[in-house]
Structure formats: structure tokens, C-alpha cells
Amino acid sequence: MYVILVYDFGEKRVAKMLKLCRKYLNWIQNSVLEGEISEVRLKELLILAKGFMKEDEDSIIIFKGSKQYSFEKEIVGKERCRIDNFL
């Protein structure tokens, strides 16, 4: 399944969250990642994130789409991490 994951974490936990997410998805902007991931892998990611997130302060939003081509993506301004897929 194709997902877009956006997180909003406190400063002390933000780097850890990015490091974790990058193991599962492709980084496209500061706190935004996207990619193909299975339900099982996504659950794993969320369990690991819940291990250190503060649920009253931090948040994660996941948009799940069954097929990537149901989205069209437009980027304006600085594009970060274009080569993320190849690292």
C-alpha cells in the first residue's frame, strides 16, 4: 500500500522519529515521508514510534492510498531529499 506519513514531534524526539521513519519510507520534506509499505511493516513502525513519542504532544498522520497513481504530487520551492531513494 502507498502511504504518506507526516509527523509533528517535539524537538527532543524529532531526529529519532526521522531516523526511524527513513528505515521504512522515503523522506520527501522535513517531516513528510512517502512510500510503499505493507500493513505489517507500518504497524511495526508505529509500535516503535509509540515507544518514544509523547502521545499528548506528538502526532503522526498517515494517509493510506491503495495505489500510488491515485495521487499526483506537485512540489513548489526547494525540493529536499530527491535522491533519498538511492541512499
Which residues in this chain contact a second copy in the complex, by CB under 8 A? 4, 6, 8, 28-32, 46, 49-50, 53-67, 70-80
Residue 53 beta carbon to a second copy: minimum distance, rounded to whole angstroms = 6
Residue 37 beta carbon to a second copy: minimum distance, rounded to whole angstroms = 12
Determine whether the annotation assigns residue 8 to a binding site.
Answer: yes
* Burial track 32-56 (b if 16+ CB lie within 10 A, e otherwise): bbbbebeeeebeebeebbeeebeee
Q: Which residue lies nearer to a second copy by CB, 23 or 63?
A: 63
Rg of the chain over all Cα atoms, to the nearest angstrom: 13
Binding site, annotated residues: 8
